[in-house]
Chains A and B, each alone.
Chain A
Amino acid sequence: MISQFFILSSKGDPLIYKDFRGDSGGLDVAELFYRKLTGLSGDESPVVMFQDDRHFIHIRHSGLYLVATTSENVSPFSLLELLSRLATLLGDYCGSLSEGTISRNVALVYELLDEVLDYGYVQTTSTEMLRNFIQTEAVVSKPFSLFDLSSVGLFGAETQQSKVAPSSAASRPVLSSRSDQSQKNEVFLDVVERLSVLIASDGSPLKVDVQGELRLKSFLPSGSEMRIGLTEEFCVGKSELRGYGPGIRVDEVSFHSSVNLDEFESHRILRLQPHQGELTVMRYQLSDDLPSPLPFRLFPSVQWDRGSGRLQVYLKLRCDLPPKSQAVNIRLHLPLPRGVVRWTFPAYQDPPATGLPPQPLCWGWALQASPLNSPGTHAPASRFASLGWLSGPVATPTPTSGYATLATARPMSFGSEAPQTRTWQQRKKASKWEEDNIFFLGVLAYGSGCRQRTPES
C-alpha cells in the first residue's frame, strides 16, 4: 500500500507528485525525502528510510528518483519491483525515461499513475490493459528519423552501421503506433550482459560472473505470436551436454511467466505472445569457468624507481573479439595513488597529456571508437592495441611513504560497450585485475547498460 508516489529530478525538484491516500498531513513529503537523503551519513543505506512516521522506498533510474512512501511494513521486494516496473512503463509510454520526457508528458504520467494505482493499491501494470485507458499521446521531443543517426556515410555510401538500427531506435513510445505515420512492425531483441572478472596477477581468472538478460521491445500488434530460437547447443546447468563442442552453457536460467516453454526442451525455442512495450524474456547467470575466452586482456607492467619516486605503468590491451564484431565506447580508468604529484601520458595522443593530479585522483581515457577497427588500421594489427604509459608519482621522497601510496591505489576500472552482433552468445565484456605481489591494484570493471539492437522483420 503506497501513500504517496513522486518522481524527483537528480537535483531534487519534484516532477510528479501524487498523494494516493491523503495522509501527508500537510507536509512537503518530497522535500522531506530529499533532505533526508542528502543528509545521510556514510554507513546508512538510502534505499529504505524512515522519517516522520513513514517509510521512504526509492529507486534511482536514469538519474531520477522514483519514490514511494508507506506507513505499513510492506514487502520491500514487491515495492521495489513495482517501482522498477513503473520506470519501465513510463519509459514505454514516454519513449524513454528522463527528466525532459517526464516534464513534457506530465499529463500522460498522471494518467498512467491514476490507472496503475488506486488508493495506493496496484491495479494493473500490464501495458496491454493500460492501453485501453490511456488517452493522452506522448509528446516526443523530435520525430524519430533514421537519418540523424549517422547511418549514412559520406556521399551516401553505405556504412557498416546502416545494417543495424541505431541504438535509439527502440526509444519511442509504444502508443505512437496509434498515430499513423510511424506505424512499423518492429521488434527489438537485446542481449544485455554484465560480465565481471577478477584476474590474478598471473593472468588466470579468479572470479567470473555473468548476468545476462534477453530483453524484448515489441511494437508489433498485440497477440502476434513470436518464436525465438536459441542455439540448439544451449545447455542449462553444469552437467547437461548438447551438441559436440563445449556448447553454450549457463548455470541458471529463468523465463518470464508469459513464455511458453513447450519446445524449449527439444528445440530450444521460446514461444511467446508479447504485449507491446518492453519485456524481459529470459534471465540467465553463469559463474566461474567461461566456455569462451575473455574478450579483452590487459597486460600491465609496472616499473618503480625507488630513488626518484617515478612509477611507470605500461598498459597493453588486447581484444579477442571475433573480427566481425567491434567494441565501442571503451573506457579505461586508472586511479592514481594519493601521493601523485605529476603525471604524463605521452602515448598516442597529440599533444601528450600531462598535468597535476586531477581532483578525484583518477585518470581516465575514453576511446571514442574502437581502436581495433578504426579506419586505416590493418586488420592483424588492429587486434592489438597499446594504450600507453603513465608515469608518476614523482615527489614521494621517502621510501616508506611511497610504499604506502602505492598500496592505497584505487582499483583500475575499464568498460566498454558490447559489440553489435546477431549471435547472442557474444558476451558483454568487463574485467577486473589484481596484482598482488607489487601492490598494484587494478580493476577492470564494465560500464553501464549496453545494448545490441537487431531489428527483425
Chain B
Amino acid sequence: MPYLGSEDVVKELKKALCNPHIQADRLRYRNVIQRVIRHMTQGLDMSCVFMEMVKASATVDIVQKKLVYLYMCTYAPLKPDLALLAINTLCKDCSDPNPMVRGLALRSMCSLRMPGVQEYIQQPILNGLRDKASYVRRVAVLGCAKMHNLHGDSEVDGALVNELYSLLRDQDPIVVVNCLRSLEEILKYEGGVVINKPIAHHLLNRFGCLSALFLTISISWMSKLDQWGQAEVLNYLLRYQPHSEEELFDILNLLDSFLKSSSPGVVTGATKLFLILAKKFPHVQTDVLVRVKGPLLAACSSESRELCFVALCHVRQILHSLPGHFSSHYKKFFCSYWEPHYIKLQKVEVLCELVNDENVQQVLEELQGYCTDVSIDFAQAAIFAIGGIARTYTDQCVQILTELLGLRQEHITTVVLQTFRDLVWLCPQCTEAVCQALLSCEENIQDSEGKQALIWLLGVHGERIPNAPYVLEDFVESVKSETFPAVKMELLTALLRLFLSRPAECQDMLGRLLYYCIEEEKDMAVRDRGLFYYRLLLLGIDEVKQILCSPKSDPSLGLLEDQPERPVNSWASDFNTLVPVYGKAHWATIFKRQGTEQCGPELPRTASFAPSGHLISEENKERVQELPDTEALMLIPNCQLTAEYFEKTWLSLKVAHQQVLPWQGEVHPDTLQMALQNCCWSPRTQKCRSL
C-alpha cells in the first residue's frame, strides 16, 4: 500500500546508504538497512536501492549480510540484471570457512528466483551436498528442489536424484527429511511428463524399494527426529505397501510409540497411517480410534481455539463411522461461555451426533440452555440440533420445543416452527403434540422461512387445529403488505388445502385471496399459481382433491436422511488433512474449482445440472425426487457456468423429444412465447436427465 511521502523515504534511505560516514559505522549502517527491510514489509517498493544493497552485502557482519540477502531474495525477480552483480559475493561466501556463512549464502542464492541463476547455483549446490557441515548439507538438499522448480518443466537430473538418494543415509536427521521433501518435489512433476514415464516409473519403484529399506533405518531414526520430521515421515510412509500381513503388524508395532506422542500432529499422523495400513482389519482400526480418543479430547479442550476447532471437526468425522464413540465424554462438548462462535456451532453438531439413551436427558438440558443464548445464530443452531435429535427422541424434544414457543421471541419461534414442519413430515407420530403447540402460537413472525413453515403446518394439519382458519385469515388480510412471494404461494396452497377439509370457514377468504392474486398481484409466479388454482377449482372439487391431497408425512425420508454409518475406510485418507475442516461438501467445491482451472474443457458434468435446477418448479421437484435415479441429479450451489459452455453442452446433447408447433402467418410474439412455455418443460427435463 503506497502512502504519501514514500518517495522521500526512499530517497533519504538511498542517501544514507551511500553516505561513507554511515558505511564506516557498523551499527548505523545496520540500522539503515533495517529500516529498508521494515519499509519493505509494509509494502513500500524499495527496489530502487538495490544497487546500494548489493554493495552492502560485501561485509563481515553476519547480521548485515542476512538482512541484505533477505532484501535481495525479495527483489531479485524485479531486478534480475542487478541481482547478477551480487552472485559474485554469494559465490565467494559459499566457500567461506564459517559453515553458517556458507549455508546462508547457499540458501539465499537458491532463493533468488530469477531466470538464469541456475547455471551459477549448480556447482555450489553440488559442493554443498558433500559439505562436511550438516547445516550446509540441509540447505543444499533443499536447494536441489529449488533449482528444479526454477527450471520449470525440465527433465529430472538423474545424477542429482541419485545423489539425493544416497544422502538418505546421512547422519543428520534433518538432512534425511529434507532429502525426502526434495525428492518428492522433483519427482512430483516428473510423473506427468509422457516421454520420461519409463524413467519416472523406474524412480518410483526405487522409491518403493527404498521404503522397505527405509523402514528398518527410519524407525530407529524417527525417534531422533523432532516432531515435525516425525509427522512428515509418517506421511511419506503412507505410500508404502507392506508385502505380507506379518510385515504389516511389524510396522504397526514399531510405530506404536508415536500414538503416545505429546504432539497432536504426530498422534494424528500416526493414526492416519494405522487406519490406512490396517484397512483390511476393522478391529485394528477401531482399536486405534479408541487409542486416539484421549489425545483428540485433550485437543478439543485445548487452550488454542484453532486446535480445538480442528479437533472437533475430526471428532465429527469419527462419529460418522462410530456413532457411540464419544458418547461417554459428552460433557466435554458442552459449550463454554467464552468460546468463539465457530467452536460452539461445531460442539452443538457433535452433541447432536453422539446422543444416546443414557445421555439424551443431559444433552437436551444443555441444548435447551443454548436456545436462549443472546447470539441469534447460536440459539437457532441449538434449536435445529434439538430438531435433529427429535427424530430419535421425539417426545422429549417436542416438549422442549413447545416450551420455547412460550417465550414468544421472534427468532426462536420462527426456527421452532421450521423444526416442527420438518419433524411432522418425518415423524408423523408427533403430529398431535405439534398441533397442540401451534394452538398457543401467535403470529409474531416476520421472516419468510418462519411464515412459510407456519402456513404449511396450518394448511396441512388444519383440521386438527381449531383456530387455523382464523390465523390464516390474518395472513390473507395482510397479504397486500406481504413482501415475500414465496409466502404468498405457500398461503395459496395452504388455504386451498384447508378449504378441502373445512370449506365453510375458508370459502370466503379463499375467494378474496384468489381475487387478489389474479387481479392485483404483481409477481408473475404468484399470479400464475392463483390462476392455476382458480381453473383447478372450476374443474370440480374431486380434481382438486386428487391434486392437493398428497401424503402428509413420509417417515421413509427420515431414514434416508439418517445417513448409514460410513465405513472407516471411506474417510481414512482424509483424516488429518484439511478435508474434515472444510467439510466434505465445501472441499468438493474447492477441489472442483481447482480442477476446472487446470483442465478447462473437462468442466464437471454435473455442473450443467445447476441451471436445470431452476427450471424445475416446486411441484415437479417432489416428483423428480421420487424417481429412482435421483443420485444422478445433483445440484451444486454457487457453480458458475459460462454461456458458451452451456450452449456447447446443450447442442451436444441428443434430442430426446421434438415438438412441432403449427405456425401460420402472423403470430404475436407473446402467443408464441406462451405456446413454447407450455411445452418446454418435458423436453428440457428429459434432456437433463439424459445427461
A interface list, Cβ under 8 A from B: 1, 13-17, 19, 22, 28, 31, 42-48, 50, 53, 55, 57-60, 73-84, 103, 106-107, 110-111, 114, 118-119, 121-126, 132-133, 135-136, 194, 196, 198, 207, 209, 211, 213, 252, 254-257, 283, 285, 287-288, 335, 361, 400-401, 403-404, 407-411, 413, 432, 434, 441, 443, 445-446
Would you give the 0/1 interface string for B76-87, flagging 1 where the beta carbon is closer than 8 Å to chain A?
010000000000
> What are the 6 closest A-B residue pairs judged by CB atoms, nearest first?
A78-B265, A45-B342, A122-B228, A445-B337, A77-B265, A410-B374
* 19 A-B residue pairings within 8 Å (CB atoms): A28-B43, A43-B342, A43-B381, A45-B345, A46-B342, A48-B578, A76-B581, A77-B265, A77-B268, A81-B307, A122-B228, A125-B226, A211-B303, A252-B298, A254-B298, A283-B262, A287-B331, A408-B372, A441-B369
Indicate if the CB atoms of A42 and B265 lie closer than 8 Å: no
Contact A207 B334 (CB under 8 A): yes
CB interface residues, B 142-161, toward A, < 8 Å: 142, 145-146
A47–B309 Cα gap in the complex (Å)? 8
CB pair B578–A55 under 8 Å, yes or no, is: yes
Chain A residues with Cβ below 8 Å from B581 are 45, 47-48, 76
Shortest CB-to-CB span from A22 to chain B, Å, is 4
Contact (Cβ within 8 A) A124 B174:
yes
Contact B342 A410 (CB under 8 A): no
* B369 in contact with A434 (CB, 8 Å): yes
Task: Give how many A-B residue pairs fall within 8 Å (CB-CB).
Answer: 209
- B235 to A335, Cβ gap below 8 A? no
Query: Across the interface, which residues of A come within 8 angstroms of B577, CB to CB?
Result: 73-76
- Using A123-B138, A256-B262, A257-B262 as known contacts, say yes or no to A48 and B374 having CB atoms under 8 A apart: no
Pair B338/A73 contact, Cβ less than 8 Å: no
Which residues of A sit under 8 angstroms from B266, Cβ to Cβ?
A: 78
Contact of A107 among B37, B174, B309 (CB under 8 A): B37
Considering only residues 49-77 of chain B, those with a C-beta below 8 Å from chain A are 62-63, 66-67, 70, 74, 77
Q: Which residue from chain A places its CB closest to the CB of B408 in the assembled complex?
A: A404
Say yes or no: is B89 at the interface (Cβ < 8 Å to chain A): no
Q: Does B501 contact A (CB under 8 A)?
A: no
**CB within 8 A of B34: which of A106, A118, A283, A361?**
A106
For A409, the chain B residues whose CB sits under 8 A away are 372
Q: How far is the CB of A298 from chain B (nearest CB, A)?
A: 14
Closest A residue to B178 using CB positions: A121
Residues of B at under 8 Å CB distance from A?
Answer: 1, 34, 37-38, 41-43, 62-63, 66-67, 70, 74, 77, 100, 107, 111, 113, 135, 138-139, 142, 145-146, 174, 177-178, 181, 226-229, 231-232, 235, 261-269, 294, 298-299, 301-307, 309-311, 331-332, 334, 336-338, 341-342, 345-346, 369, 372-374, 377, 381, 407-409, 576-579, 581-582, 590, 594, 597
Given the known inter-chain contacts A13-B42, A75-B269, A209-B301, please indicate yes or no for A413 contacting B374, CB distance below 8 A: no
Determine whether the beta carbon of B70 is less than 8 Å from that of A110.
yes
Contact of B265 among A43, A45, A75, A443 (CB under 8 A): A75
| Smallest CB separation, B230 vs chain A (Å) | 10
Contact with B372, one of A13, A441, A446 (Cβ below 8 angstroms) = A441
Nearest chain B residue, comparing its CB with the CB of A360: B374
Q: Please, which residues of chain B bring their CB within 8 A of the CB of A106? A: 34, 37-38, 41
Which of A48, A84, A107: most chain B Cβ within 10 A?
A107
* Distance, CA A15 to CA B145, complexed state (A): 29
Cβ-neighbour of B579 out of A73, A82, A132 (below 8 A) = A73
Chain A residues lying within 8 Å of B374, measured Cβ to Cβ, are 335, 361, 408, 410
B336 close to A75 (CB less than 8 A): no
Q: Are A75 and B228 also in contact (CB < 8 A) when A45-B342, A106-B34, A107-B63 are?
A: no
Residues of chain B with a CB closer than 8 A to A17's CB: 41
Chain B residues in 8 Å Cβ range of A13: 42
A50 to chain B, nearest CB (A): 5
CB neighbours (8 Å) of A1 from chain B are 181
- Decide: B231 and A84 in contact? CB cutoff 8 A: no
* Contact B310 A198, beta carbon cutoff 8 Å: no
Whether B268 contacts A118 by the Cβ 8 Å rule is no
Neighbour of B226 across the interface among A124, A198, A408, CB < 8 A = A124
A70 nearest CB neighbor, chain B only: B578
Separation of A362 and B345 alpha carbons in the complex (Å): 23
A182 to B181 alpha-carbon distance, docked (Å): 42
Question: Distance in Å from the Cβ of A440 to the closest Cβ of chain B?
Answer: 11
- A132, A256, A257 — which one has the most chain B CB atoms within 10 A of its CB? A257
Given contacts A14-B42, A198-B334, A413-B338, contact A135 B578 (CB under 8 A): no
The CA of A110 and the CA of B107, in the complex, are separated in Å by 14
Closest Cβ neighbor of A408 among chain B residues: B372
Give the residue of A55, A207, A432 whose beta carbon is less than 8 angstroms from that of B337: A432
Q: Are B228 and A125 neighbours in the complex by a CB distance under 8 Å?
A: yes
Q: Could you tell me if B338 and A445 are in contact, using CB atoms closer than 8 angstroms? A: yes
The answer for the CA separation of A209 and B330 in the assembled complex, in Å, is: 12
Asked if A81 and B265 sit within 8 Å, CB to CB, the answer is yes
CB distance from B308 to the nearest CB of A (A): 9
Are B264's CB and A410's CB within 8 A? Answer: no
Q: Given A17-B41, A44-B342, A404-B409, verify A75-B70 contact (CB < 8 Å).
A: no
Docked complex Cα distance between A28 and B261 (Å): 38
A334–B517 CA distance with the chains assembled, in angstroms = 51
Closest to A198 in B: B334
**Which chain A residues border B338 with CB–CB below 8 Å?**
413, 445-446
Contact A59 B304, beta carbon cutoff 8 Å = yes
Knowing A14-B43, A110-B67, A257-B261 are in contact, say whether A196-B336 is a contact too (CB < 8 A). yes
Q: Which of A45, A79, A132, A287 contacts B332 (CB 8 A)?
A: A287
Are A285 and B301 also in contact (CB < 8 A) when A47-B581, A76-B310, A107-B37 are? yes
Bound CA–CA A77/B264 (angstroms): 6
Q: A118 to B182: give the CA distance in the assembly, Å.
A: 12
Rounded to whole angstroms, the CA-CA distance of A77 and B113 in the bound complex is 30
Other A-B pairs, 9, CB within 8 Å; known A45-B309, A107-B34 = A73-B577, A73-B579, A76-B581, A81-B264, A83-B306, A110-B70, A135-B63, A407-B409, A441-B369
Q: A409–B266 Cα gap in the complex (Å)?
A: 43
- Give the contacting residue for B578; candidates A58, A76, A211; CB below 8 A: A76
Contacts of B582 in A (CB 8 A): 48, 50
The distance from the CB of B573 to the nearest CB of chain A, in whole angstroms, is: 10
CA distance A254 to B263 in the complex (A): 10
Of the residues B41, B62, B264, contact of A14 by C-beta under 8 Å: B41
| Chain B residues, CB < 8 A from A121 | 142, 177-178, 181
User: Which residues in A have their C-beta under 8 angstroms from that of B181?
Assistant: 1, 121
Give min CB distance, B322 to chain A, whole Å: 20
